[in-house]
Amino acid sequence: MNPIQIGPIPGVTDLTSLIDFLQNPKPVAERVKKLEDIRKKVNEDLKALKVMKDLRSAESLAAIVVRNAESELRNAKEEAAEVRKTANDAAVKISQKVKEDMDAHTLMANEWATERRALQKTLRDSTKAAETQLAQSNSLMQEAEKKLGEAEKIREEYTKKARDLKSIIA
């Protein structure tokens, strides 16, 4: 803003020259026009000054908003870091628990597999022993049937000899 300069009226040095100046409308009109221009310029400068004050107020408010936003951002980052840490801790605990459970299940499955193999071996051994006993039983049964057949023949022979003896004695 340039300072407003109002200089003396040219040619006016005393009261008489002032009256002469005021009676001549052309220099008065020029001077009034200059004063009107100065008034317009002052009004424009006042408006600009108000805008500058508004800008300074807005700038101050913007600075406050920026500081608040920065503070909120810091708080949000801290909170996010805490949430991230909590989530990571929970993930580690869950991962450890899953690993422990998997290890326990694997151990149990291995024990069951060992038991199953032992039971299968016992079953195979028992089946083999049963088959062996069955074969021996079948063999003994055949031998018994053979001896029973022989005994039957001997009984028939003795029965025939007894009849023959009865018929001789009788």
How many degrees, rounded to 5, is the angle at CA 139 between CA 136 and CA 145? 140
How large is the greatest C-alpha to C-alpha distance in the chain, in angstroms?
A: 210
Beta carbons within 8 Å of 35's beta carbon, 6+ residues apart: 6
Report the pLDDT value the prediction gives residue 25, as an integer from 0 to 100: 73
What is residue 2's DSSP assignment?
A: P
Chain position carrying tokens 């039971």: 119
Q: What is the pLDDT of residue 35?
A: 83
In tens, the pLDDT along 112-126 reads 999 999 999 999 999
Structure tokens given for 167: 């018929």
pLDDT of residue 2: 63
What single-letter amino acid sits at 2?
N
The percentage of the chain sitting over the pLDDT mark of 90, rounded to a whole number, equals 48
Helix ranges (H only) for 8-24 are 15-23
What residues contact 48, with CB distance under 8 A and at least 6 apart?
A: 1
pLDDT tens figures, 93-107: 999 999 999 999 999
The chain-wide mean pLDDT, for the chain, equals 87
Mean pLDDT, residues 19-25 taken together: 77
Instruction: Return d(Cα 55, Cα 59) in angstroms, integer.
Output: 6
Residue 78 is predicted with a pLDDT of 94
pTM beyond 0.85, yes or no: no
Tens of pLDDT, residues 39-90: 888 888 888 888 888 888 888 888 899 999 999 999 999 999 999 999 999 9
